[in-house]
Structure 1
Amino acid sequence: MADRIRLNRMQFYGYHGVLPEERKLGQLFAVDLELSCDLYQAGTTDQLDQTVNYAAVFDQVKEIVEGPPFMLIEALAENIAERVLISFSKVTKCLVKVMKPNPPIAGHYESVSVEIERSRTTAYLGLGSNIGNRESYLERALEALQAEQKIRVVHCSSIYETEPYGPVRQPDFLNMVAQVETFFPPLPFLRKLQEIETALSRAREVHWGPRTIDLDLLVFGQKVTCSEALSLPHPEIARRAFVLKPLVEIAPHLVVPGLHRSVMDLWQNLNGGEDVQLWRTNNGGGKFGLFEN
């Protein structure tokens, strides 16, 4: 069980709501926060820098609630969670409850409220390119990921050159894997990856066809799901040498959820990985350890 910090019934005056009267006259809002974080070092050292400064959290929430109005308290809660996770790196999960004690709705009740939970998740992405300047497309994709406030690129594998997968004749790929941290939920995260692909001229005209950039969501925390929109972990992860070879480089002991096998085990039991050749080693220098600054 994670350690928690709770800030209960913080009260602010704001102008959020759908009705014109709410946005003109304003009303009282109450906010509860529950922050999950490791407090062992704070408890054993008694040092403020080993915990989350409650006063700083309060000030951040106050700035949002008393700032520009939102129509929905759902949006208000989302912005509070986002700000807390961006501003306080020790917080791994944020539970936000926003209450309207006196909403302008006919009837008898104490309040209305919205409660959301957002957390930092470690995800692994497969990147590939086989059109144009392949190296540049990989670099630009990583830059686009890093530019998004809700995503942080943590670690990148070396780059490998691989023969195309599937029946379509096309040039060889450059492939790599990146470990990222995000507090997007899975489906919005997938949509963000697709937005980056589109911005980098990705065309989806031929299945398994050539592409400027391919961003595959391989693993998202411990999430296991299967739907038309998203399957996690990636259904081909155990069969693709161009995924497993770079993944075993940066996360050999990662146990793939649903498969209950480590990346190293999957790689060692894969046949046909000889066509994945090292193209550039991540030496820790330059941008992402791979590119010149």
Structure 2
Amino acid sequence: MDLNSLDKINIEGLEVFAKHGVFKEEQFLGQKFVVNATLYTNTRKAGLSDDLTASIDYGMISKKIVEFMQENTFELIETVAEKLAQKLLMETERLEGITLEIQKPWAPVLLPLKNVSVKITRSWHEAYIALGSNMGDKKKYLDEAINSLDNLDYVRVENVSDFIETLPYGGVSQDDFLNGCAAIKTLYTPMELLDCLHRLENEAGRERKIHWGPRTLDLDIIFYDDLVMSTKELIIPHVQMHLRDFVLVPLAQIAPWVRHPIFGTTVAELLEANKKDYIKDKQFI
């Protein structure tokens, strides 16, 4: 999510008396905190209509901040900021991102300082997940994977392609695959999302015995915003997605306009350019 393209609503200097801190005295007696928040959204519709329901009610947000900080106790203001950002993003319609600064002016450090603070920015991210199965009840595995994705704490499934039957990829003798793609919004980082996908695969009985071998469930991150990353554990965009019709066909059904952040071409253009034929039957199921 490109927060720079969005409008901002600012809340500055919200004072809250709450009980957060490492020391028992802080958690018992409490102290003053000051919260600054920048809400990233699109105010165009509200500005044209003069309708509060088309924007974000900063009074409501301020009340939620106060209630959260007074109803919870954490040792670290880092945790206060993280948990509060997650709560507001999950519960506030049209809120795409948030910058939170939690100030602790009475921090007990026994030195003459004006303030201690933590400042974080968190936002929703757009990601595309490829799904595949070629063992047992394939459609059931994919349907359950979609449902499990949508039930993850910080994931919203936005769109799901139809499923297509495809030939095996990689030269290993095995049953045909059922493949699809899902568009999601998530608060997870790429590595956190990968861990979640691996957990769902394990819950479906996935065994990693043969490279490109049969599997009950295969979940891959294809795109994550416009991110380009390469680590031992994860490469984004998926390194071979542009060569795989079984990824491009369902992905083009739900996101033909999305551009590959390295090649600069759309999913529809990548599909047109890819002449390899791994699709057994290009009819959607």
> What TM-score bracket applies, with the shorter chain setting the length?
over 0.9
TM-score by length of 2: 0.94
Correspondent of 2:194 among 190, 200, 208: 190
- Paired letter, 1:151: V
> Is the CA contact (8 Å cut-off) linking 2:139 and 2:178 kept in structure 1?
yes
Per the TM alignment, residue 150 of structure 1 is displaced from its structure 2 partner at its CA by 1.4
> Is the CA contact (8 Å cut-off) linking 1:127 and 1:214 kept in structure 2?
yes
d(CA) in 1 for partners of 2:173 and 2:129?
Answer: 24
Per the TM alignment, residue 278 of structure 1 is displaced from its structure 2 partner at its CA by 4.1
Does residue 175 (structure 1) correspond to residue 179 (structure 2)? The answer is: yes
> Is the CA contact (8 Å cut-off) linking 1:123 and 1:220 kept in structure 2?
yes
Correspondent of 1:90 among 86, 89, 94: 94
Does residue 216 (structure 1) correspond to residue 220 (structure 2)? The answer is: yes
Correspondent of 1:266 among 255, 264, 270: 270
Correspondent of 2:53 among 49, 55, 59: 49
d(CA) in 1 for partners of 2:66 and 2:235?
Answer: 39
d(CA) in 2 for partners of 1:250 and 1:239?
Answer: 18
d(CA) in 1 for partners of 2:150 and 2:283?
Answer: 23
d(CA) in 1 for partners of 2:278 and 2:214?
Answer: 21
RMSD, matched Cα: 1.4
Q: 2:212 is paired with a residue of what secondary structure?
A: coil
> Is the CA contact (8 Å cut-off) linking 1:29 and 1:100 kept in structure 2?
yes
- Paired letter, 2:221: L
Correspondent of 1:123 among 113, 120, 127: 127
Per the TM alignment, residue 276 of structure 1 is displaced from its structure 2 partner at its CA by 4.1
Aligned residue-pair number:
281
> Is the CA contact (8 Å cut-off) linking 2:77 and 2:118 kept in structure 1?
yes
Which is worse superposed, 177-186 or 266-275? 266-275
Q: 1:131 is paired with a residue of what secondary structure?
A: coil
- List runs of 5+ in structure 1 lacking aligned partners: 282-293
Corresponding position of 1:4: 8
Corresponding position of 1:290: none
Corresponding position of 1:61: 65
Corresponding position of 1:226: 230
Q: 2:71 is paired with a residue of what secondary structure?
A: coil
> Is the CA contact (8 Å cut-off) linking 1:242 and 1:273 kept in structure 2?
no
Correspondent of 1:240 among 220, 225, 244: 244
Does residue 107 (structure 1) correspond to residue 149 (structure 2)? The answer is: no
Does residue 277 (structure 1) correspond to residue 271 (structure 2)? The answer is: no
> Is the CA contact (8 Å cut-off) linking 2:244 and 2:276 kept in structure 1?
no
Per the TM alignment, residue 94 of structure 1 is displaced from its structure 2 partner at its CA by 0.8
Structure 1 runs, 4 residues or longer, greater than 6 Å off? none
d(CA) in 2 for partners of 1:119 and 1:60?
Answer: 18
Does residue 26 (structure 1) correspond to residue 30 (structure 2)? The answer is: yes
Per the TM alignment, residue 228 of structure 1 is displaced from its structure 2 partner at its CA by 1.3
> Is the CA contact (8 Å cut-off) linking 1:242 and 1:276 kept in structure 2?
no
Per the TM alignment, residue 274 of structure 1 is displaced from its structure 2 partner at its CA by 5.3
d(CA) in 2 for partners of 1:63 and 1:190?
Answer: 33
Per the TM alignment, residue 164 of structure 1 is displaced from its structure 2 partner at its CA by 1.3
1:85-123, Cα deviation, whole Å (9 max, x unpaired): 111121111111111111111322112111111111211
- Paired letter, 2:57: N
Q: 1:267 to 1:276 in 2, by over 3 A?
A: farther
TM-score by length of 1: 0.92
Does residue 161 (structure 1) correspond to residue 135 (structure 2)? The answer is: no
Correspondent of 1:257 among 258, 261, 265: 261
> Is the CA contact (8 Å cut-off) linking 1:127 and 1:213 kept in structure 2?
yes
1:52-95, Cα deviation, whole Å (9 max, x unpaired): 01111112111211112112111111111111111112111111
d(CA) in 1 for partners of 2:100 and 2:121?
Answer: 6
Q: 1:13 is paired with a residue of what secondary structure?
A: strand
1:223-255, Cα deviation, whole Å (9 max, x unpaired): 111111221111111111100111111111211
d(CA) in 2 for partners of 1:268 and 1:230?
Answer: 27
Which is worse superposed, 12-21 or 152-161? 12-21
Q: 1:276 to 1:101 in 2, by over 3 A?
A: farther
